[in-house]
Amino acid sequence: MTPSMMAQERGEPLLQSGNGAAGGGAKGSPPPSLARTVLKVLMWAVFLTWAAAIFFYPIKPAQAAFEGWMAATKQSLFGITGSIFLAFSAPILIVAALAYVYISAFPSDHIHVEKNKLKTLCFRLWTFPVLVDGPFGVVSAVEFIGIVLFIVYVVYSMTYYAVESVSLISKFGQISLTYSELLLYIIGLRFGSVGLFCMAFLFLPVSRGSVLLRLIDIPFEHATRYHVWLGHLTMALFTLHGLCYVIAWSLEGNLLGELAAWKEIGVANLPGVISLAAGLLMWVTSLHPVRKTYFELFFYTHQLYIIFVVFLAFHVGDFIFSFSAGPIFLFMLDRFLRFWQSRAKVDIISASCRPCGTVELVFSKPASLRYNALSFIFVQVRELSFLEWHPFSVSSSPMDGRYHMSILIKVLGSWTEKLRGIITDAQEQGRNGSESETGRITACVEGPYGHESPYHLMYENLILVAGGIGISPFLAILSDIIHRIEEGKPCMPKNVLVLWSVKKSNELSLLSAVDAQFISSSVSDKLHLDIQAFVTQESQPPLEEGIVGDDQKATGMFVKNGTTMSGLVGTGNNFWAGMYFAASTLGFVLAYALAQAYYVRRLNVFAWWHLGLVFVLCMAAGVTLPGGLVVLLWHLSEKRKAEDDRWDAAAAAVPRAQDGEEEAEQTTNGADAADGGVSLAAVKTTRYGCRPQFEAEFAAFAEKAGGGAADVGVLVCGPLGLQASVARECRSHNLGRRGGRRRRAGAVFHFNSHSFDL
C-alpha cells in the first residue's frame, strides 16, 4: 500500500483541526500571531472583568457602580432583568462566542508550536502537583490557586456582609422582629447571594463539549473534579441559607406557614424548599462512599438537577435568577446537543470477551468524527438501562482506521457483568451453530471528549504509568506514536517507558489490543520503547507463561443497529457548533423580547415566580427551536458527508484489490521482521510479586533521557492511590531539582492524570 493510500485509509486525527478543514494558512506556516493575541487578550479581558464584578460585588463602590448601571439600562424592553443579565451573564456568553472564533481560526494541532508550550510558566503550573494527599486528591498549582481564590471569596464576602449586617441592624427603628431574627434573615440572604454566584461557576465544568473547556484545554475528567468541588461549596452555602431562615421562622413560631408560602410578590418559599431538597438529595448521593457503593442511586438522583434549577427560578424570580443564567444556558446548549447525539443506535463492529474478564467493543464511526488518543466516550446499553451512561477511555488510535473506535471495559460491577453476560451468551450460541439475535446490544454513544492538545506527542521523553485496565488509553497512545513515526507525521516522543501494574498475569494479554503489534526497524531506530509489567499477586510465572502474551480473545460478534456514531458533538465541527451557539443565543434573546412585549406587559404579569418561569421557558425555546433547526441541518450535513465517505472508500477499494495491494500489505510484517523489527511482546519485561519503585524508575529514565536538560511527560491512569504515588514522586523530583537537593537525575517532570475507566 502506498503512503498516500495508507494516509487515506487511516485518516487524520482530531489534531489537525476541529472540523477537518485546513486552518492557519499553508501547511507548516504559523498562524497570524497578531489576530491570535488580540482574541486572547479580548477573551481574558472580558472574563477577568466578569470575575472581578462577582468578586467585588459585596463592597460599596461596586454596589454604587451597579446601581448606576441599573438606572441607565432598566428602561429598556428587558427591564431590570436585562440589566443584570448584561452585567453578570452576558460576559461569559461573549467569551464563548469569541472562543468559537478562536478555535475555528487557529486549529490547535501544530506540534512545533505545542513544544514551546512546555516552557511556559502557565503550563508548568498546570502540570506541577502541589497537593498530593488530602480531601482534594492530587492538585496542581493552578488548581490550588483556584481553590484558594474561591475560599478567599467566600470568607471575604461573608465577613464583609456580616459586619455590614450588624451596622445595618443598628439603623432599624421599631420593628416586630428581634435582633437575632433580623440578623438571621440578613445573613441567610447573604449566604444565598454568595451561593448563587458560586452556582454560576458550577455549571461551566459540567458541560462536556463546552467550547470554554476546549479553549483552555481542560479535559472533562478534570472538569468533573471542579464540578464536585464547586458542588460541595454551593450546596453548603445554600444549606446555610435555608438553615438561617428555618431557625428565624422557628423563633417567630411560624415555621410551617413560612415553608408552605408561595408569594406573588417577593421570594416564594415553597419552590425554594423544593429546590433545596432536590439539591440536598443530589449532594448526599454524590458523596464518594455513596457514589462508589450505589452508583445507580447517584446517577438517578442527579437527574433532579432539572427540578433544582426550575424551582430555583420560581423561588427567586427572573431578575435574581439572571445573575447565574449565562452558565446555565451554556449547559442547556451542551445537554440538548448531547441528547441529539445520544439518540443514534450505533453499529458494533465487534463485541468480544477476553479470558482476563475484559470486554472489548469496537464501534462504527464516520470518517469525519475526529478524536485523539487521549479521548473518551460515554456508552449506554439499552438492554441494561435507559438512563445509565458510563465513561470509557478509547483504546484505539485515530491512526488505526477512519471508520472505527474501540474501548476496553473491565468487569467491576453489575452493569459491566450483565454486558459481559450478553456477549458471552451470544458467542456461545455462535459456537453451537445457532445464530445470535441481531441487535441484542443496542448501544448509544456520546463523545468523544478529552484533551484538545496531544500531550503525549509534546514530549521527547514520556512515562506512562497504568494500573490494571488503566492501560487502555496508553494502548491508544502507543499505537498512535508508532503509526505516526511510520507515516512520517509530527511526533516528538523518542523515549517511552510504560510502567504497568496488574494483579494477575492473564491481564497482560490486553497488550495484544494495540493495533500496531509490530515495530519495524525504521520505527525502532527513532523510538526507544520499554514496557515494564508488574504482576503484584503472583510470585512466579504461571506454567502456561508462553501463551500469556498471545491474543486469546474470542471471535467478536457483530451487531447491526443501523448507523455509525453521530458527529453531533460539541468537540466536532467548529462551524456548525458555532452556528448552533449563535442561533440558540439569538433565539433566546428574541423569545424573551417577544414574551416581554406581548405577554408580560400586555397581560400585566407581575408574580416573581411567574416571571422566573417565563425566563426559563425562553431559554429552553431558544435552544430547542432555532438551535434545534441548526442541529437538524448539522445532522443532515453529517449524514451526507458519511454517505460520500462510504462511496469514496468503496471506489478506492476496487483498484487496490485489482493491483494485489492487499497481498502486499499482508506480507509487510514478514518483510519488517527480516529487516530486524521487533514485536511489542519483545520489548516487554514482566516482574512477579513486586510493584514499581517509582523513584528508581523515574531517576533511571531521566538519566537516560538527558538528566537535567530533559522535559519528561508523566501520564498516569489508574486508582487514586496510584495517581497520588506518581504525583508525589514527580513533585519530589521537581523540588529536588529546583531546591538543589541531591538527586541522581534533575529532569523536569510534568504530571497529568487520566482516569475515567469503569
pLDDT tens per residue across span 345-382: 998 988 888 877 789 999 998 888 888 888 889 999 98
> Would you tell me how many other CB atoms lie within 10 Å of the CB of residue 648?
12
Residues 282 and 297: their CA atoms lie apart, in Å, by 10
Answer for the pair 372, 411: CB distance below 8 angstroms, yes or no.
no
CA dist., res. 740 & res. 261, Å (int): 66
Which residues are CB-neighbours of 154 under 8 A, at least 6 positions away? 194, 198, 233, 237
pLDDT tier, 651 (very low <50, low <70, confident <90, very high otherwise): low
- Give the span between the Cα atoms of 140 and 130, in whole angstroms: 5
* Cell (9 digits) for 545: 507463561
| CB 24 within 8 Å of CB 31 | yes
What mean pLDDT value characterizes the chain? 82
User: What 3-state DSSP class applies to 65?
Assistant: helix
Residue whose C-alpha cell is 488530602: 134
- Over residues 460-465, the mean pLDDT reads 90
Q: Which residues have a Cβ under 8 Å from the Cβ of 111 and sit 6 or more positions away?
A: 15, 454, 457, 458, 490, 491, 492
509 versus 668: the higher-pLDDT residue is 509
Task: Give the span between the Cα atoms of 491 and 365, in whole angstroms.
Answer: 25
Q: Is 490 exposed, middle or buried (CB count within 10 Å of its CB: 0-12, 13-18, 19+)?
A: middle
C-alpha cell at 505: 498475569
pLDDT value for 13: 36
Q: Phi and psi dihedrals of 277, rounded to 5?
A: -65, -40
**What percentage of the chain has pLDDT greater than the value 70?**
82
Give the Cα separation of 513 and 480 in Å (integer). 13
Predicted confidence band of residue 113 (pLDDT cuts 50, 70, 90): very low
Question: What dihedral do alpha carbons 624, 629, 630, 636 form, nearest 10°?
Answer: 130
pLDDT given for residue 638 in this prediction: 87
Q: Quote the CA–CA distance of 518 and 478 in Å, as a whole number.
A: 11
pLDDT at 585 over 90: yes
Look at residue 549 and give its three-state secondary structure.
coil
Which has the closest alpha carbon to 713: 451, 514, 521? 451
Identify which has the larger pLDDT, 60 or 613: 613
Bridge pairing between strands 495-502 and 557-559: unpaired
Q: How confident is the model at residue 322 (pLDDT cuts 50, 70, 90)?
A: very high
Q: Which residues contact 128 (CB under 8 A, 6 or more apart)?
A: 140, 141, 730, 731, 734, 750, 751
Cα separation, 743 vs 619, in Å, equals: 58
Residue 134: band (very low, low, confident or very high) from pLDDT cuts 50, 70, 90: confident
pLDDT at 747: 58
Quick one: average pLDDT of 485-499?
Answer: 88
- Of the ranges 229-238, 456-465, 566-575, the best mean pLDDT one: 229-238
- Whether the pLDDT of residue 431 is over 70: the answer is no
Give the pLDDT band of residue 214 (cuts 50, 70, 90): confident
Local confidence band at 103 (pLDDT 50, 70, 90 cut-offs): confident
* Residues contacting residue 654 through CB under 8 Å, at least 6 positions apart: none
Average pLDDT over residues 630-652: 80
* Cα–Cα distance measured from residue 441 to residue 285, given in angstroms and rounded to the nearest whole number: 29
Residue 128 has pLDDT above 90, yes or no: no
Q: Looking at residue 671, what is its pLDDT?
A: 43
**Where does 304-413 have alpha helices with state H?**
305-321, 325-341
Separation CA 260–CA 184 (nearest Å) = 19
Distance CA 460, CA 466 (A): 19
- DSSP classification of residue 124: H
Quote the CA–CA distance of 417 and 439 in Å, as a whole number.
Answer: 19
Neighbours of 588 (CB within 10 A): 25
What is the C-alpha to C-alpha distance for residues 326 and 439, in angstroms, rounded to an integer? 41
Confidence of residue 237 (pLDDT cuts 50, 70, 90): very high
Q: What is the pLDDT of residue 123?
A: 73
Q: Dump pLDDT digits (tens) for 394-427.
A: 998 888 888 889 999 988 888 888 888 888 887 7
Per-residue pLDDT for 750 more than 70? no
467 by DSSP, 3-state: which?
Answer: strand
Give 553 or 608, the one with higher predicted confidence: 608
Task: Give residue 433's pLDDT band: very low, low, confident or very high (50, 70, 90).
Answer: low
Q: In this structure, what C-alpha cell is assigned to residue 153?
A: 471569596
For residue 399, the model assigns a pLDDT of 85
Buried b (16+ CB within 10 A) or exposed e, 312-338: bbbbbbbbbbbbbbbbbbbbbbbbbbb
Specify the DSSP element, H or E, that contains 166. helix 141-169
Helix axes 325-341, 179-202, angle to 10 degrees: 40
φ, ψ (nearest 5 deg) of residue 362: -115, 115
**Which pLDDT does position 678 carry in this prediction?**
72
Are the CB atoms for 427 and 557 separated by under 8 Å?
Answer: yes
pLDDT computed for residue 504 by the predictor: 87
Q: Which of 189-193, 345-349, 641-645 has the highest mean pLDDT?
A: 189-193
pLDDT of residue 751: 63
Q: Which residue has the higher pLDDT, 661 or 70?
A: 70
Q: Which residues contact 602 (CB under 8 A, 6 or more apart)?
A: none
Q: With the CA atoms of 624, 625, 630 and 633 taken in that order, what torsion angle do they form, in degrees rounded to the nearest 10?
A: 100
Task: Please state the rounded mean pLDDT for residues 746-753.
Answer: 61
Q: Omega before 448 cis (within 30°)?
A: yes
Contact 455, 713 (CB under 8 A): yes
**CB–CB of 426/557 below 8 Å?**
yes
**How much is the average pLDDT of 2-25?**
38
Average of per-residue pLDDT across 522-528: 84
Which regions of 503-645 does DSSP assign to beta strands (E)?
518-519, 528-535, 557-559
Cβ-Cβ contacts under 8 Å for 24 (sequence gap 6 or more): 30, 31, 32, 105, 106, 107, 110
From CA 526, how far away is CA 504, in angstroms rounded?
A: 32
Phi first, then psi, for residue 177 (nearest 5°) are -90, 150
Q: What is the pLDDT, as a whole number, of residue 137?
A: 83
Question: Is 482:413 a contact under the CB 8 Å cutoff?
Answer: no
How does residue 231 score in pLDDT terms, banded at 50, 70 and 90? very high
**35-48 per-residue burial string, b: 16 or more CB within 10 A, e: under 16:** eeeebeeebeebbe
**pTM for the predicted model, two decimal places:** 0.86
In the DSSP assignment, the letter for residue 153 is: H
Q: What is the mean pLDDT of residues 283-288?
A: 93
